[in-house]
Amino acid sequence: MIRPAAGPRPADTTTTSLVVVRALNLAEQLLTRRYGATVTLADPEDLGGGSARSVVLRARVAENPFGLPRSLVIKHYQRDPTPGRADRFRHEAASCQLFTALSGDRPSPELVAHDPANRLLVLEDLGRSSTLADKLFGSDAAAAERCLLTWARALGRLHAVTAGREHDFDALLRRMGERSWRDPMAVEARMALASVPELVAAELGVTVSAEAAREAHATARLLGGTRYRAFSPSDTCPDNNLVTSRGVRFVDFEWGCFRDVMLDAAYTRVPFPGCESSFAMPAGMPEAMLAAWRSEVVQVWPDLGEPARLAARLLDAQLLWVWLCTLQLLPKALAENALIGRDATRSPRSLLALAHYWTLLARDAAIGNRAGTVELAESMVTALGKRLGDGPAELPLFPAFRNRALNTPKGPR
């Protein structure tokens, strides 16, 4: 995750700085080999966007005989891939190569150089940009609204420009020794379809009817080879989206893959599922975001401009995400609830998020004539409400929207 707004830290003499200096030295060697003359980097700043797997830093190009930018971003993967698992470095490198080959405005930083042997990426520096998370957790509701609409349009543009390029992406992966793979969500989603009935029966006393199970299992078609496939960053949490002068740019493609675009579009109805920053949207915002996304993708898939077709596929994706979030969040939510105990002033946010997801699903499934899902969703909301007790019963809005009654946003013109 590359997050310049996280507060860069200058390199010092600590153990952490040794990791930064090593990444800097490897980047200098890579650029020198590529350009055939010495490239010197200076003033490394740890951007704090890495993890146990990687370090991310910004560096000034001090000696620059080739017209390189004044600064670059370096991402160095610290660990070798787990045997038998997909290599996140290779997926991110292939993703960046795919985007760099695109003409016009790119949806991500340009790849300047990469070194598979040392698991190193050198990327365009997009500057000290804010992230979408900064806007959503700030105090300016109008700015947050604009950024959400810009994000949705950028996501649609990403889908539109990468549609039909799955074979190119697979070829880039194979060139680095990686076999193509499916969306990592697909395995977990199928697990959810198989295990959620038993989970909610054991933990909440909710019975999943045969009709509800059948409606849920029908959504698995989104996990296969549909005609609406395009590139997805997979991890599009708000802090992985930079707000630049040229619009929103996506970063962090460790889980990048091709999948059905509705699985990303459903983020408008299930706000950033699986992210720690899952809060509620203000009234009208999901519809405006979907309109912004749709305005880009209808150029590639005109039939998604048909309201009935779009609504049915979007409901499929929403239903699948809610089942997956139930598998992921319910055990955690109940554990948090047990720790909170009888404190009537508190409710675990993961439990509130689940109740929110099922409440929205009950409403949308009723509109979409999914009777089994409506019955299940209502039962889930009731059961989760009992666990919430006397604490807060609604998922709070993103902080930027809490102090303003937001008018219904207008869709793209």
CATH number of the domain residue 84 falls in: 3.30.200
- Which residue type sits at 249? R
Place of tokens 């509109």: 367
Residue at 412 is within a domain: no
Q: Which of 109, 125, 141 is the last residue of a domain?
A: 125
Residue at 406 is within a domain: no
Residue at 411 is within a domain: no
Reduce the DSSP state of residue 175 to 3 states and report it. helix
Predicted confidence at residue 50, as pLDDT, reads 53
Predicted confidence at residue 213, as pLDDT, reads 98
Predicted confidence at residue 269, as pLDDT, reads 93
Whether 56 has a pLDDT exceeding 80, the answer reads yes
Q: At what angle do helices 349-367 and 307-340 cross, to 10 degrees?
A: 150
Start-end of H helices in 50-111: 88-100
Residue at 410 is within a domain: no
Cβ atoms within 10 Å of 225's Cβ, excluding its own: 11
pLDDT in tens, 394-404: 899 999 999 76
From 50-64, 117-131, 138-152, 373-387, the region with the lowest mean pLDDT: 50-64
Pair (32, 86) in one structural domain: yes
From 20-34, 38-52, 58-72, 240-254, the region with the lowest mean pLDDT: 38-52
Pair (172, 284) in one structural domain: yes
- Measure the CA–CA gap between 98 and 267, rounded to whole angstroms: 24
By residue count, the chain amounts to 413
CATH number of the domain at 241, please: 3.90.1200
Pair (207, 229) in one structural domain: yes
Instruction: Look at the chain and report how many structural domains it folds into.
Output: 2
Pair (19, 155) in one structural domain: no
Predicted confidence at residue 354, as pLDDT, reads 93
Place of tokens 């379809």: 193
Predicted confidence at residue 2, as pLDDT, reads 34
Identify the band that residue 236 occupies on the pLDDT scale cut at 50, 70 and 90. Answer: confident
Whole-model pTM? 0.89
Domain holding 51, by residue range, is: 4-125
Long-range contacts of 12-16 (CB under 8 A, 24+ apart): 16/46
Pair (266, 370) in one structural domain: yes
Pair (211, 266) in one structural domain: yes
Whether 382 has a pLDDT exceeding 90, the answer reads yes
Pair (94, 160) in one structural domain: no
pLDDT in tens, 143-177: 999 999 999 999 999 999 999 999 999 999 999 88
259: nearest Cα among 294, 219, 224: 224
Q: What are phi and psi of 243, to 5 degrees?
A: -100, 105
Instruction: Tell me the torsion sign for CA atoms 213, 214, 219, 223.
Output: positive
Q: Which of 67, 100, 125 is the last residue of a domain?
A: 125
Residue 326, class by beta-carbon neighbours within 10 Å (0-12 exposed, 13-18 middle, 19+ buried)? buried
- Mean pLDDT (the chain, rounded): 88
Residue at 363 is within a domain: yes
Q: Which of 84, 104, 125 is the last residue of a domain?
A: 125
Pair (251, 375) in one structural domain: yes
DSSP string for residues in 196-213: HHHHHHHHH-----HHHH
Residue at 373 is within a domain: yes
Residue at 413 is within a domain: no
Identify the band that residue 9 occupies on the pLDDT scale cut at 50, 70 and 90. Answer: very low
Residue at 108 is within a domain: yes
pLDDT in tens, 74-124: 999 988 877 777 889 999 999 999 999 998 778 999 999 999 999 999 999
Pair (121, 142) in one structural domain: no
Pair (148, 121) in one structural domain: no
Pair (306, 373) in one structural domain: yes
- Measure the CA–CA gap between 150 and 249, rounded to whole angstroms: 10
Pair (87, 137) in one structural domain: no
The answer to whether 192 and 152 are in contact (CB under 8 A) is: no
